[in-house]
Amino acid sequence: MSTDVDLGRVLTAMATPFDIEGDLEVGRAEELANLLVANGNDGVVVGGTTGESPTLSHDEKLELYRIVRRAIPDAVVVMGAGSNDTRSSMELAHDCQELGADGVLAVVPYYNKPPQKSLVAHFKAIAGAIDIPVMLYNVPSRTVANMAAETTIELSHVSNIVALKEASSDLAQVAAAAAGVAPGFRVYSGEDSLTLPMMSVGAYGVVSVAGHFAARGIRAMIDAFLEGRVEDAARLQYRLLPIFKGVFCTASPIPTKALFRVLGLDIGDTRLPLDMSEITDTQVQALKKMVDDLGELALTLGVPASTTA
């Protein structure tokens, strides 16, 4: 497989809808996936951090992935397959391939705190279990372990490891990785507020949380930068910065789910150990104002006709 695989420039890490009983809400997941693509995303990442993957069972993940793949057949669907157990990750990655994933997301193992050589072995094992693209995910604020630029560079030469979602907040590390990776390997921002700075040192796009509400604006910012209109890109970054920060005013995805509710699309509560009572009405109303202030850059509610039979 060539590493020159284009998964799009704007992907949203989709929140997982639950019903009033806290069970997976399949119909609302279909609706949300359609909404995100209709509002400017190239596709979605399902079963990631924003999707509350640690609280989803293996069977729930497969059900979620199946419905999202069916709902948006012409858009990119990257399915979360990473965990802190290599063997389980390999099994889930294989299941994702069977479900028609365009790629899998594999996070740096959490809790185990693996050193760099162990990370290489872990990700090579996952990639070796499947024939589809792998997107690495470095988020040391949640996993404790950081994947060094040298490790990313080494892994970029594995034929089907094609991308990195980088959320280390370390621009020097991003630049070092982007400068040394194999041709065609793509670095994605995993932090909305750093997408534009990261693109200036070689990133390709973003796996976003704010893309639930502002994918049009994010795409306009990226397009402006790519066209050399750097000042326009910066102005869009300034407009978008409040929602970039706002969706992390408390533990994600609590703000995302609370904001969708007030906007009129209820995708349920978070599962424990994340508690929706952590966000206040004042914070939710402030988030709503951020979306309202974005105007044409914000999402439009209203979903195209279902693509499922």
Catalytic residue numbers, as ranges: 137, 165
> Residue 160 carries which DSSP code?
T
Question: Residue 78's beta-bridge partner residues?
Answer: 45, 103
DSSP state letters, 23-68: SB-HHHHHHHHHHHHHTT-SEEEESSTTTTGGGS-HHHHHHHHHHH
Residue 222 to residue 224: CA distance in whole angstroms? 5
Residue 60 CA: distances (Å) to CA of 44, 87, 122, 265: 17, 19, 24, 22
DSSP state letters, 262-285: HHT----PPPTTS-GGGS-HHHHH
- How would you classify residue 95: left for phi > 0, otherwise alpha for psi between -120 and 50, otherwise beta? alpha
- Residue partners of 76: CB distance under 8 A and separation at least 6: 7, 8, 11, 42, 43, 44, 102, 103
Q: Would you say 134 and 103 are in contact if contact means Cβ atoms under 8 Å apart?
A: yes
Residue 8 to residue 137: CA distance in whole angstroms? 16
